[in-house]
Amino acid sequence: LVHELCLKQINVTKRDLFYTDVKLFEDQNQSDAILDDLSCMLGCTRSSLHVVASEKGVVVGRLTFTEAGDHIDCRRMGVGGKAIPPNISKVSNIQSDALFILLVEKDAAFMRLAEDRFYNEYPSIIITAKGQPDVATRLFLRKLKLTLKIPVLALVDSDPYGLKILSVYMKGSMNMSYDSSNLTTPDIKWLGVRPSDLDRFNIPEQCRLAMTDEDVKTGKKMLEEDFIRANPEWVAELELMLKKREKAEIQALSSFGFQYLSQVYLPLKLQEGDWI
């Protein structure tokens, strides 16, 4: 099947591949695992085998590029943004006057920033994978970083899972460890929401959540990660989170008003250079 795709130079999704023989594969996890094994055995990326993931990530802001011959302007894509192409090899001629890339964990925060045209006042490119990052978004972020050579600032929830999502962008995931060098963007700065922000910005008690035992366990595991230990400020923030046993989502900032994120929190952070 993959040989046929390579000969015809066409792309299909993982789901398409599974449905070529449902009785043989029985479950999509089976066909996905075979595909990962094949990529590992051949020493190539999954996308180079012409099998791509469904579109999940979106981008908006001061960015133009060419996708399979079409000119794309990410300032003219509405509040929903432009879907990140599943086949990054077809993206070329990347141009931008942005000063930084804002990597956002949640779709709700992305929509708020897109609707407020945050990128007009603070020249930026805003990206989200709507939670756990997919391969296309990770590839796209890496390509932007290498091409534009501008900093990547992350806005994630103040909880261990926000950091886990960052870890996938920075060092890769276990199931695609064979391809991590092509997928990762190691130098990402943690802009917020950091545990120290909860008191600094007076996040109301009703917007703070108690960490579960599972949260604490995950947090302690994250403390052992090399990318955390390499940065003493990250260690201090995570230790503060575990000490107070409190977590908060980006949406906790909305308790001060729906536009507090775009009009107060982020501008203050950026003006002070408050990222680690």
Backbone dihedral angles phi then psi of residue 190, each to the nearest 5 degrees: -90, 105
Catalytic residue among 19, 119, 161, 260: 19
**Strand (E) or helix (H) holding 56:** none
DSSP 47: G
Two tokens, residue 98: 């942005």
- Reported as half-sphere exposure (CB side, CA atoms, 13 A), residue 55 has a value of 10
Number of helices and strands in the chain (H, E): 15, 13
Adjacent-strand bridge partners of 64: 73, 95
Backbone dihedral angles phi then psi of residue 194, each to the nearest 5 degrees: -95, 155
Listed residue (123, 133, 243, 119) closest to 188, CA to CA: 133
Does the active-site annotation cover 19?
yes
Two tokens, residue 69: 């011959």
| Catalytic residue numbers, as ranges | 19
